[in-house]
Amino acid sequence: MADTKNPPGAEDIIQARTRIGNLVKHTPVVNSERLDRLLGCRVFSKAECLQETGSFKARGATNAVFSLAAEKACQGVATHSSGNHAAALARAAALRGVPAYIVMPANAPRIKVQAVEYYGAKITFCEPTLSARQKTLQKVITDTGACFIHPYDEPLVIAGQATAALELFEQVPKLDLLLAPIGGGGLMSGCALATALARPSVRLVGTEPRGADDAFRSLQEGRLLPQENPQTIADGLRTQLSELTFSILSRHLERIVTVSEEAMVKALRLAAEHLKLVIEPSAAVPLAALLECDFGQRGKNVGVILSGGNVEPDALAGYLKD
C-alpha cells in the first residue's frame, strides 16, 4: 500500500476518480427551500447515504482494493470496523473477486453486520475495545496473509473519499463553505485535499459530537489527543484521528464545531422531513451544526456531506418520534 506517512497528492486523487468512477455511485445533491429558510443559508447536501453500501466509505475502500497489485490482492484484504468501512471493504473485495476478512465488535449494529455478510466477507467478532479489535485483526492477518486496509489512516482511502467533494464541486460550482463529520478524519481529510485541489476559496468546517470531540480538542491544543470514553449516538464518530488525518486537518480546516445530541436528533428529523432522506446519526452532525452553531454561514451556499444512511429501523423510529 501507499506510504501512510504522506497524504495523497493531487495525482492520487485524480487517479482515484478514474479508478472508481464505474464502481461507486455518483450520488445526487439534494436541496430544500424550506430547509434553507429554516437554517438561514442555502444547503446543498451530497447524499452519500445513497451509495450502494449506504455510506461514503465505498469510495475509499474501493480505491484501496483496486490499487493492490494482483499478487497481493489474491491473498485478500482485512480490516477492523464497526460497520460502514467493513461493508465497503467487503463489497470492494467481492467486486475484485478476492477474500475479505472483517473484525467487528460484538455490539456492532445488526444492520451493518448483515451488510458485511451480504457481500460474502468472513466476520470475526471481538470485544468492543480498540485493543481487542487490533489484537484480533493481527491474528487474522497472520493466519491469512491478507492486506490490512485501514478505515482512514491510509492515503489511498483518503484519496477515494476526496472524490465525493470533487463531485460536489462539479454539481454545485459556487459553494462558500463545505461541512463534513469527523470521526477518524478520513472523509474530512479527503474533502480538505479535494478543496485545495479544485476550490481553494471554499471554507472548510469540520463537525463533531460534543461527546466525542477529540478532533476539536486536538486542533485547539495543536497536538493529537486521544478519544476519551466517547458518549454519542453517532457510532461512526466514536473513533479518533490518526497522525495522518490530524496533520491534514491541522493544515486545511478553518475550524471544528461541536454539536449536542439533541441537535443531531433534530437534524435526523429535518433530513427525513425536508430532504426525504434516511441518514444515520453520524451523517446528521453537519446539519446539526447549521442548526446550533454560528460560523458565518448565514446567507451562504453551504455544501454538506451526508456521510451515511445505515441506521437500525427501530432506532430511527425512536429518533423520529415526536
> What's the pTM?
0.95
Same topology, domains 10-55+155-320 and 58-148? Answer is yes
The mean pLDDT of the chain is: 95
255, amino acid identity: R
Q: Which three cell numbers stand for residue 162?
A: 476526496
Helix %, strand %, coil % of the chain (to 5): 50, 15, 35
Cα–Cα distances in angstroms (integers) from residue 165 to residues 4, 56, 151, 208, 243, in the given order: 22, 11, 18, 19, 22
Mean pLDDT of 186-211: 98
Compute the distance between CA of residue 190 and CA of residue 47 in angstroms, rounded to an integer. Answer: 16
Domain 10-55+155-320 has CATH 3.40.50.1100: yes
Is the confidence at residue 186, as pLDDT, over 90?
yes
pLDDT band at residue 33 using 50, 70 and 90 as cut-offs: very high
278: Cβ contacts below 8 Å, ≥ 6 apart: 49, 271, 272, 309, 311, 316
Each residue's pLDDT tens digit, 82-115? 779 999 999 999 999 999 999 998 988 788 888 8
Each residue's pLDDT tens digit, 36-78? 999 999 999 999 999 999 999 999 999 999 999 999 999 999 9
Residue-by-residue DSSP string for 142-159:
HHH-PEE--SSSSHHHHH
Each residue's pLDDT tens digit, 236-282? 899 899 999 999 999 999 999 999 999 999 999 999 999 999 999 99
Each residue's pLDDT tens digit, 277-320? 999 999 999 999 999 999 999 999 999 999 999 888 888 888 88
Higher pLDDT, 116 or 322: 116
pLDDT for the residue 322 = 60
pLDDT for the residue 1 = 47
- Could you state, in order of their start, the residue ranges of all structural domains in the chain? 10-55+155-320, 58-148
Is the confidence at residue 2, as pLDDT, over 80?
no
Is the confidence at residue 3, as pLDDT, over 70?
no
pLDDT for the residue 69 = 97
Each residue's pLDDT tens digit, 124-157? 999 988 789 899 999 999 999 999 999 999 999 9
Fold annotation for 58-148: Rossmann fold (3.40.50)
pLDDT for the residue 121 = 97
